Structure 1
Amino acid sequence: MTLIPPELEQISAATLQHYNANAEPFREGTRDHDVTQNIAALLRHIDAEPPFAILDFGCGPGRDLKAFTALGHRAVGVDGAERFVAMAREETRCEVWLQDFLHLDLPAARFDGVFANASLFHVPSQELPRVLRQLHATLKPGGVLFSSNPRGTNQEGWTGGRYGAFHDLEAWSRYMVDAGFFELEHYYRPAGLPRDQQPWLASVWRKPAAA
C-alpha cells in the first residue's frame, strides 16, 4: 500500500510528538546504553585522517555526539524532535540541526561518516530509498555509513506511538546497495547471545571512492 503525502506527514508528526512528550524519560532510559561496539564499527572503517567529520543521524539527547567528541572527532547531530535537539545542544555544545527525516536538507560531501543508530527504522519503507540517497550524498567519496535497526520480517506500522519498519538483512542490504553503497560488515546485537535474543541488526557500508 502506498502512503500518500498527508499520511506520511501524520506518521512523522506523531512519531516526533511521542519523542518530544517522552524526551526526559528517553534520555534517562538510554543514557547508559553501551553502543561502543557500534561506534567502533563506524570509526575503524573510515579511511581518512582524524579527526573525522561525523553526522549523528537521529542524535536524540546527544549521548553519542558526546562520545564522538570525547574521542576527538568533529560531530554534528541531526534530529526531528525539538526537545532532543535542545537537549543535545546543551549537553554537548555541538552543532545540532533540527530536521525531519522526511524533509532533510543536508550538505553535499561533508562527512567522513554517518552514524545512524536506532533511527533509520522510523523511515517508512517507500521513503527509505530517497533518504538513503540523501545520506549517500552527504558523505564524502569513500565515506562510511553505520546503521543499527531493530530487525524483523519486513513488516511496518505503529508500535507504542511510534512508526517503525523492521527489515531483515536481505531487504536492508537491497535498500543499501540500490542507494549506491557496498557492505563492509554486519552483525547482530547484543553480542554473545543466541540469534533469537539479538533483536538488533547492525551493518556498515561504504560509498565508493569514485562516486
Structure 2
Amino acid sequence: MSDKTHEYYEQEAKAFFEATVNLDPTPFLSPLGEALAPGARVLDIGCGSGRDLLWLKNNGFVPHGLEPSPALSSLAEKHSGCPVTIGDITTTTLLAQSWDGILISGVLVHVPHTSIPDILSRVTGALTAGGRLYVSVKEGHGSATDNDNRRFYYWEDQAFRTVAKTAGLHLLSMTRSASARGNSDVWLGYVFERLPGSSG
C-alpha cells in the first residue's frame, strides 16, 4: 500500500467507517461462511470498519482483525467487539499462526501485481489443512489513482486464478458483482481451499 493510500484511510477513517459499516456483507461472505465449520478461527485482513468481523462473530465464527490504520482499527474493534491488531499484510506476525479461514476483502486492490504471488503464498501457509480463503479484487487492467490519491491495481479473472493456483490454492467458488457502494467498480470474489500438502 502506498503512503498516500495509507494516509487516506488514516485521515478519513471516520468517513470511510460511516460509508461502509452499514453495507450488508451477506452476499459475498455467505460462500465463505458456508465453507467453514462452526467455531472456525478467521483472520480478517484489512478489516476496515469491523463490519465483516461483526458478521463473522454473529454467524458463529471466532474472528480476529488486522488493520493498518490505527484510527480504523479502533473503530473496528469498538463496532465489532472483536480483537483487532494494528499491522500490514506484508509484515504481520499473525500469519505465523494457523487459521481455519482468512478473509481479504478489498485489500489486494492496493497491492502491486508483482507482490501478490508472495502474499498469497504466505497466506496459504497460514491456513490449516483444508483451510478456506476469501479474497476480492477489482476487475480490470493495469492500475490507476483515484481522486483521493489512492492507488488501485486491477485483475483479469483468469490471471488471478493462475496466481492463486501457483500459491497452492484450489478454487471452490467465484462471483462477479457490482460494487455495493453504487459506483462503476466490478468485484471478483473467490473462495479458495488450501490444497493438501501445500506449504504456500
TM above 0.5: yes
Which one of the candidate residues 136, 153, 158 is aligned to 1:148? 136
- 1:167-206 alignment, distance < 5 Å: 167-190=155-178, 199-206=186-193
Aligned to 2:31: 41
Question: How far off is 1:138 after superposition?
Answer: 1.3
Residue range with higher mean Cα deviation, 169-178 or 101-110: 101-110
Measure the CA separation in 2 of the matches of 1:179 and 1:208: 9
Q: Secondary structure at the match of 1:72?
A: coil
How far is the alpha carbon of 1:204 from its aligned partner? 1.0
**2:139–2:155 Cα contact (<8 Å) kept:** yes
> Which of 58, 64, 71 pairs up with 1:83?
71
Report the CA distance between 1:82 and its aligned residue: 1.1
Supply the AA of the counterpart residue of 2:5: T
CA deviations on 1:15-42 (whole Å, 9 max, x unpaired) are 1111111111111111221220211111
CA contact (8 A) 1:59 1:88 kept: yes
Query: Contact conserved, 1:152 with 1:168, CA < 8 A, in 2?
Result: yes
* Pick aligned residue for 2:106 from 118, 123, 146: 118
1:64 to 52, 56, 61: 52
Pairing partner for 1:16 from 6, 14, 31: 6
Cα distance in 2 for partners of 1:36, 1:140 equals: 24
Where does structure 1 differ by over 4 angstroms across 4 or more consecutive aligned residues?
A: none
1:140-171 Cα shifts (integer Å, max 9, x gaps): 11011111222112x02422311211001011
Shift of 1:58: 0.8
SS for the counterpart of 1:103 is coil
Letter in 1 for 2:186: P
- Normalising by structure 1, what TM-score? 0.85
The CA distance in 1 between the partners of 2:48 and 2:168, in whole Å, is: 27
Contact 1:12/1:100, CA 8 A, preserved across alignment: no
Cα offset, 1:198, TM superposition: 6.7
Identity of aligned residues (%): 26
Q: What secondary structure sits across from 2:47 in the alignment?
A: coil
- 1:25 counterpart residue number: 15
Q: Distance in 1 between matches of 2:102 and 2:109?
A: 15
113, 116, 127: which is aligned to 1:128? 116
Number of aligned pairs?
A: 193
Equivalent residues of 2:144, 2:151 under 8 A apart: yes
Distance across 1 between alignment mates of 2:112 and 2:93:
18
Tell whether the 8 Å contact from 1:109 to 1:140 is kept in structure 2 after alignment. no
**What secondary structure is seen at the aligned counterpart in 1 of 2:48?**
coil
Aligned-pair CA distance for 1:102: 2.9
Instruction: Find the residue that maps to 1:148 and give its secondary structure.
Output: strand
Q: What does residue 83 of structure 2 align with?
A: 95
* Alignment equivalent of 2:41, drawn from 53, 61, 72: 53
Q: Please, what is the CA RMSD of the aligned residues? A: 1.8
Distance 1:156 1:104, change over 3 A: farther
